[in-house]
Each structure stands twice: as C-alpha cells, then as structure tokens.
Chain A
C-alpha cells in the first residue's frame, strides 16, 4: 500500500514538474512573440544581434553542413536507386528518394545539427548567465534581456533551420537529378514532373512550418532550460543535459506529428 502511494506521489510530482516546464516554455514563447509584435523592438541594434545569431548558427557552418548534406544525400539516393533497381521499382525510386530526403530526413538532420551545435551552446551560455548573476545585473539596469539575448536567438534559430533545410533540400534535388539522369538536360522534363508530383504548395507550407518549429525547438528549449538553472555552478552541466534531452524529444515529437498529419 505504502509502495503504491509513493509511486503515485512520484508520478504526480513528475507530472507537476512537466507541467511547470511546459508552462514556462509557452509563457516564455508568448513573451517573445509579444515582443516581436512591438514596433519598438525592431531597431537597428536588435537587427544586428539577430544577424549575429544567424551568422553563428547558419553561415559559419555552411560549408561543413553542405558537405555533410552532399555525402548523406548521395549515399541515400544511391542506396534507394540500387535497391529499387533490384526489385524492379525504378519508376518509384526518384519519388521515394525525394520524399525521404527533402521532406523528412534532411529537415530532421538539420534540426539535430543545429541542436547539437547551437542549442547546446545556447543552453550553456544562458545557464552561465543565470548562475553568474549576469541576468540580475541586467534586471538591475532595467535592460530587458529578452530583446537582445533571447528573442534574437529564437529568430536566428528559426531562420537558420528554415534556410539550411531549404538549401539542403535544393542540394539533394540536384544530387538526385545527377544520380538518376547524370550530367545533361535529358532528364529535366521527367524530373520536373516527379518534383511537381511530390511538392505542391500545401506540402511546401507544411515543410516550412515544420522547419520553423524545429528552429524554435532547438533554441527555445535550451533558453528556458538555462533559465531554470539553480544558482550553482555545478548545476550548469545538469541544465545542459536536461535541455538537450528535451530538445531531442521535441524534435522527434514534431517529426512524428508531422508524419502523422501527412500520411494518416
């Protein structure tokens, strides 16, 4: 009996904890969104910080990222093509490759890439700011950190994931064309038809929305996880650990929900 009571209690505590985390997350998102709507936010300084964030999140890693996309698209397209050939389903291969890569795998990998690189960095930085009292100092100066510390990171994350996933998708389309039809314009017509079959404007809007959610998840969650850190230096790694776990679950959830919406 006692065992049952304790397990129910621990379950309740866990649920309450999740609720608190979720509430903090969405309240923070709401504040950031409200700030975005204020015209006074959009001054040159905020814009500069956003640009800096985009630079660190997207531009800095562009060569490495594109090389990685090139390799992974080439591999996956080749595997799909040769498998399809073995089973005599060549006509479905290009469609399958585009669907798998452009719509699902590359956005997912982009989100993971940004999460590992920028998400963890953001989480650590915010946790350190919190532990070092830097945020308190900003509060004392009546300078709201949201505008130049957090909101630009969210915007930068969204912009970066959307553009990087878009560029990766374009690169994969080109790689796919080269893998299937080789160099030359002979396959342009059939390839165009395949692309148009797969990508209509609903799919396009869904893809952009998904990437935007990915971008939000890989920045918003680390920021809020960092803000939760107790003011003890040894809690910083714990905060990063928790934040990254949540980011991972959020990315997988977004992917699963988008798949469910698309195919069910």
Chain B
C-alpha cells in the first residue's frame, strides 16, 4: 500500500465529501428542495425597490423581490418569491409596507396582526404601501410631545406663570396710559407692547392649532381610502393621527390657559417693581413656545399632503 497515494486519496475523498455537503447545504439554504411561493405587489411607485431587496416578517427575512415591471395599464408590479415554509406568515390580513431606513437597504415589511386569518393564496396580488407617513409619524409625535412638555412646564402649578400671577396680585396702584399697568411695570410703552404682542401671538397660534386639528380630523377620516387597506394598517395610522391630534389639543388648551392668565395679569392691579423680572421671563418663554408650535404647524402642513389627492390608483 502506497502511503502517499492513501493520503492523497483521503484528502480527495474528504474534500469531495465536504464540498458535496456544502453544495447540499447551499441548495437547502437557497430553498432548492422546497417549493416556492409567489406574490405580486401592486405599488404606486417603484422607488427604492430593486430585485433582491428582502421581504421581512418581524425583522426576519422570509423572501425576496425577484423582479419588477409595469403592467399594461402602467401600474407597477413587483414580484417576490418566498420559500414554502415561510408562506404561513402571509395571511389575507397581512399588510406589506416598503421601509427605507436612513442607514441600510430598503425592505418590505410584512405585518400580520392575526395569524389565524385565512392564508394568502399563491400568486395573489397584494398592495404595497409606502411608509412615508408611517415612518414620519413617530418623529412627529415626538416633536409634538416636546412642545407639549414645554407648554406644560410653563403652566405647571408652581411654575413661572403662577408665581408671576401671585406676584402681580400683590401689586397695587392704578396705572394710566395706553398700556395701563404694564407700562408702569415694564417701565416703557415699548416693553409693554411686547408683552401684549406675545399675547396676540399666542392667540393666533391657538387659532392655527384649531385649524390644524380640523384638518387632522379630515385626514383621519380619509385614511381608510388613502391607505386603501383593511383595518390593520389604517387603524395604526389613524391611531397615530389621533395621538397627534390629542397632543395638539393639549398644547392648545395649555396655551389658552396661559393666555387667560396673562390676560388676567394685565387687568390686575399689582405691585409694579416686584413683577417686572418675572413678567419679562414669562414673555420670553411664551414667545419660545409660540415659535416652536408655529414651526411644528408649518412642518405638518408641508409634509402632509392635505391639498394633494391622497388616493392611490390601483394598477
């Protein structure tokens, strides 16, 4: 027996076996031994979609986009392939959303709220939602929250406004002139005008917030047609919209409260000297809150397509 030949033979057999095993593993990994399950997505835009982007269920990849193209009516059809074993995650109530994170590749997210729902048939066509709104909602909610906090901070029980009012109430003396008491508190008509201006601004903001809240209501009612999906997605979106609306209402209420207190302050006869510093600080804070709320309203108006026709034509 030739030792050299034996070793080479052993090497060859081991390499071939390992290579063969790896090939089988690779075939298994690529689903060669399993049936595949096809889906077609109808989408309004093929932005960010490319063959090979994953379809993920709860963050786990279950399939991939294989090709995309146009149908005869000019609609976009995206084909995706799933392994048979992953088909169980696809139900009739499932929703499909295109996610484009800031870092990393786009992917299609599958949400299946009810795993007991009837299974999606092979080769069926489903809608692909774009997550423009869904992805911006959380950020928006955060910003509304921040402003609300700010306003709440202003109007909290032992906050500046209350202290100020307490101070103001101790102020005595009758004030004359165009700006009444405020002029004497602040020492000049210009300064007094500034305070009343911020009050005006606050009132204007409250009106704007009102308008926005109305629009939001309209939008929430439109969400069904807009997102043209069953309760699953729409519910989520509507919830978010409702949340934003709630917060705006809160902010509005707080500002109104602040406004009322300020208005009171103007009427109250007060100790002039002691109130001065507090009222100046209060003014700055109200100005800040108004500026932020205004920016938020502009942002919302800019981002959300209130004026555009939000309905997506099905291909």
Contact = CB atoms under 8 A, between A and B. Distances in A.
A and B touch in the complex (CB under 8 A): yes
Contacts of A200: 30
A111 to B, nearest CB: 17
Contacts of A192: 25, 28-29
Query: Chain B contact residues (Cβ within 8 angstroms of A): what range?
Result: 10 to 19
The B contact surface, by secondary structure, is helix
Contacts of B19: 166
A196 B28 CA distance: 9
Nearest to B7: A59
A95 B5 CA distance: 39
Given A163-B15, A166-B15, A51 B8 contact: yes
Contacts of A52: 4
B199 to A, nearest CB: 47
A204 B23 CA distance: 10
Nearest to B9: A51
A195 B4 contact: no
A204 B26 contact: yes
A155 to B, nearest CB: 13
Given A163-B15, A166-B15, A170-B18, A54 B29 contact: no
A91 to B, nearest CB: 8
Interface residues of A, number: 23
A52 B11 CA distance: 12
B61 interface: yes
A36 interface: no
B304 interface: no
A195 B7 contact: no
B22 interface: yes
Interface of A: 48, 51-52, 54-55, 58-59, 62, 92, 163, 166-167, 170, 190, 192-193, 195-197, 199-201, 204
Interface of B: 4-5, 7-8, 11-12, 15, 18-19, 22, 25-26, 28-31, 60-61, 104
Q: Which 4 A-B pairs have the closest CB atoms?
A: A196-B29, A192-B29, A163-B15, A59-B11
Given A59-B11, A62-B11, A163-B15, 17 more contacts: A51-B8, A54-B11, A55-B11, A58-B11, A59-B8, A92-B104, A163-B11, A166-B19, A170-B18, A192-B25, A192-B28, A192-B29, A195-B25, A196-B31, A197-B61, A200-B30, A201-B26
